[in-house]
Amino acid sequence: MRVVSGATSVSPSRLGKRVLIGVLAPLLYSADQVTKYLAESNLVVGEPVPVVPGLLYWSLHYNPGAAFSMGTQFTVALSVLALVVLVGLVTVVVPRVNHWLAAVGTGWLVAGVAGNLTDRLLREPGPFQGHVVDFVAVRGFAIFNVADMCITGAAILLVVWSIRSERM
């Protein structure tokens, strides 16, 4: 931000990055929540539906832990951590984003963290203990959701941005 005649303003390029984040994050968050709703409405736990037989399935699963169902006894801690991360992203990172690749990665990350945090806060068995809805199953790998895809994609983009920004 720069100060102009006693008022604060945001440079047009930085404003554009914030707008990009402001468009991506709610769109991807909505996609996560809608797909979880559809999964719960159309799938049954323990009854996978083949999409690409032998490789990809829709398979409803409620995950109390982190990636690969690790840390199931730390659901409350994971929820608090996600809340702290989301607040930090919105209050510290978003205002400082100054590159389009960082903006895309940040938008994806905000959406992913918010999507899984929503499950943790609003789903059974209760606030900060809720289980995350996962439904995309890759044989021999994991069961995940759109929020997880956003978080993973954001990590990749932010690493690429970090490497590229060092060369600039």
Residues carrying an active site annotation = 134, 148
Nearest to 164 by CA among 78, 99, 80: 99
What is the residue whose two structure tokens read 């604060």?
8
> Measuring CA to CA, which residue among 92, 89, 95, 91 is closest to residue 151?
89
Which tokens hold the place of 141?
Answer: 């790998």
Structure tokens at 10: 């945001």
